[in-house]
Amino acid sequence: MTNRIDEKFTALKRDNRSAFIVYITGGDPSLERTIEIAATLERAGADVLEIGVPFSDPLADGIANQLGAQRALQAGATLPKLLYTISLIRSRISLPIVLYSYLNPIFQYGFPQFEEDALAAGVDGILFLDLPPEEGIDSSHAHRIHRIRLIAPTTPEERIRSITGHASGFVYYVSREGVTGERDDLAGSIPERLGQIRKHTTLPVVVGFGISSPAQAAQVAAWADGVVVGSAIVRKIGELGKDPGLSQKLLDFVTPIGDAVHSVVKGT
Partner 1 sequence: MQPNVQIDTSQLPDEQGRFGVFGGVFVPETLMPAIEQLREEYARAKTDPEFGWQLEELLRTFCGRPTPLYFAERLTQKLGGPRIYFKREDLLHTGAHKINNAVGQALLAVRMGKKRLIAETGAGQHGVATATVAARFGLECVVYMGETDMKRQALNVARMEFLGAKVVPVTVGQATLKEAINEAMRDWVTNVRTTHYLLGTVYGPHPYPMMVRDFHRVIGDETRRQILAVEEKLPDLLVACVGGGSNAIGLFYSFLDDQNVAMVGVEAGGTGILPGQHAARFQGGRLGVLQGTKTYLLSDEDGQIQLTHSISAGLDYAAVGPEHSYLHDIGRVHYDYASDDEVLDAFQLVAKIEGILPALESTHALAYVIKHAREMPPNHVVVVNLSGRGDKDVDQLAQRLPRLT
If one asks whether residue 73 binds partner 1 (CB under 8 A), the answer comes out as: yes
**Closer CB to partner 1, 154 or 268, in the complex:** 154
DSSP codes of every residue in 32-50: HHHHHHHHHHHHTT-SEEE
Identify which of residues 9 and 102 has a Cβ nearer to partner 1 in the complex: 102
Q: Which of 47, 61, 138, 225 is catalytic?
A: 61
Residue 73 Cβ vs partner 1, minimum distance, rounded to whole Å? 7
Please say if 252 is a catalytic residue: no
Catalytic pick among 28, 47, 50, 225: 50
- Applying CB under 8 A, the span of 1-9, 12-20, 56-64, 194-202 interacting with partner 1 comes to 56-64
User: What DSSP character marks residue 134?
Assistant: G
Q: What is the pattern of x (binds partner 1, CB under 8 A) and - over residues 200-219? A: --------------------
Question: In residues, how long is the chain?
Answer: 268
Tell which one of 126, 179, 206, 261 touches partner 1 (CB under 8 A).
Answer: 179
Q: Which of 58, 125, 210, 258 binds partner 1 (CB under 8 A)?
A: 58
User: Which residue from 66, 85, 219, 231 is in contact with partner 1, where contact means CB under 8 A?
Assistant: 66
Q: Which residue blocks in the chain are alpha helix, DSSP H?
A: 4-14, 31-43, 63-74, 79-90, 103-109, 111-121, 157-165, 190-198, 214-223, 231-240, 246-263
Beta bridge partners of 229: 22
Interaction of residue 32 with partner 1, rule CB under 8 A: no
Distance between the two ends of the chain, CA-based, in angstroms? 30
Rounded Cα distance, 164 and 82, in Å: 29
d(CA 90, CA 94): 7
Question: Which residue, 25 or 40, is less far from partner 1 as judged by CB?
Answer: 25
The CA distance from 97 to 37, in Å, is 13
Question: What is the rounded distance in angstroms from the CA atom of residue 130 to the CA atom of residue 126?
Answer: 12
The question of whether 32 is a catalytic residue gets the answer: no
Which residues are identified as catalytic? 50, 61
Binding region for partner 1 (CB under 8 A):
55-60, 62, 66, 70, 73, 78-80, 102-109, 129-132, 134-135, 150-156, 159, 163, 174, 177-179
